Amino acid sequence: MTEPVVTAHQHVLVTGGAGFVGATLVRRLAGSGHSVRVFDNYSTGNPAYLDGVDAELVEGDIRDAGALDAALAGIESIIHLAAAGSVVMSVADPVMNFEANVVGTFRVLDAARRAGLERVVLASTGGALIGDAVPPVNEFSLPRPISPYGASKLAGEGYAHAFAKSFGLRTVALRFANVYGPWSAHKKGAMTVFFRALHSGQPIVIYGDGTSSRDYTHVDDISHALLLALEGDVPGGTVLHIASGVETTITELAGLCRNAAGKPDHPVEYQPSRVGEVDRNFATYDLAKQVLGYTPAISREDGIARTWQWYREHVFRS
């Protein structure tokens, strides 16, 4: 593990900072003494997620080079979270996914280059980028994305590495596992869908036979890894998996959600698999532990219970 290089606060731009991960990350950054400016077009994020947080909010689109240039005034580093994050939507509209994720990431990197910034930390993905591979995957697994979303994140990593080597920009791409936790009610991931079914009394719908698996990592652990990547002495072009290291099948996830809600016998319905989704996936975080000192701190049982409680208090109040 390398020692952090940051001894004083930084001025950090967080793209997509009013979204799911951003809502937790911006709080952590501000609490750690960093000055934060959020840049978000609010297509999926919500400025209300950051009510009461010490952060400047700027509305804009990452594909708008002029708006990015203006937002980078006085900024030293970027954490790039803004993205079109749905595998299913990327299959339905690959052009939109390309423009948001590939063009958008290029614009962010190029704006950082023009502004002479020192570092960009990028949100990438593990399972969707690697594709179908025997888990656990790691940084040496050969990428074979099977969805436009996975391909777009691979392209972003490629540009980040190229900008590191061509322009000296210190880029760090973090391949997130499946993130869950507070501020995720607008997302379309399995846990959100399961919680809504549990609340409404509708059956939990599982696509496939229930054996497909993912690595579910709490947003607090993801945000901690992002902070470590911002502050650590990490070489440009680095790629790291940020995960829990635990494989959870979709049937197991449904059981964990039912138990958290106190409804262990809630009905489950199985439907055919969907195109573009990886069958099995979980990742090792060994390299992130070595490079960043990252270790996940929240178990899936505790994290899912805490997330259900957040949904009860903030989403299912009425």
Helices 250-260 and 190-200 pack at an angle, to 10 degrees, of 40
In a domain, 308, yes or no: no
Give pLDDT, residue 80: 98
Q: From CA 277, how far away is CA 231, in angstroms rounded?
A: 34
What is the model's pLDDT at position 276? Answer: 87
Query: Phi and psi dihedrals of 166, rounded to 5?
Result: -85, -35
Distance (Å, whole) CA 74 – CA 103: 24
Q: Is residue 38 part of a domain?
A: yes
Tell me how crowded residue 165 is: count the other CB atoms within 10 A of its CB: 12
Which residue, 51, 115, 125, is CA-closest to 87? 125
Q: Does 6 map to a domain?
A: no
**127 in Cβ contact with 178 (< 8 Å):** yes
205 domain-assigned: no
249-292: per-residue pLDDT in tens? 999 999 999 999 999 999 999 999 988 888 999 999 999 999 99
Q: Is 62 inside any structural domain?
A: yes
- In a domain, residue 279? The reply is no
| Per-residue pLDDT at 9 | 83
Confidence at residue 7, expressed as pLDDT on a 0 to 100 scale: 43
Phi-psi region of 11 (alpha: psi -120 to 50; beta: other; left: phi over 0): beta
Catalytic residue among 149, 216, 294, 311: 149
Q: Please indicate, yes or no, if residue 128 is contained in any of the structural domains.
A: yes
Regions in the chain scoring below 50 on pLDDT: 1-7
The answer to whether 216 is a known catalytic residue is: no
- Give pLDDT, residue 277: 86
Give me the count of residues in the chain.
318
Q: Which domain holds residue 147?
A: 11-178+217-243
Number of structural domains (the chain) is 1
Q: What confidence score (pLDDT) does residue 3 get? A: 45
Rounded Cα–Cα distance for residues 142 and 298 (Å): 29
Answer yes or no: are the C-beta atoms of 242 and 205 closer than 8 Å: no
Tell me the CATH number at 138.
Answer: 3.40.50.720
Residues 221-243 pLDDT 10s: 999 999 999 999 999 999 999 99
Asked if residue 199 is part of any domain, the answer here is no
Q: How many CB atoms lie within 10 A of CB 8?
A: 6
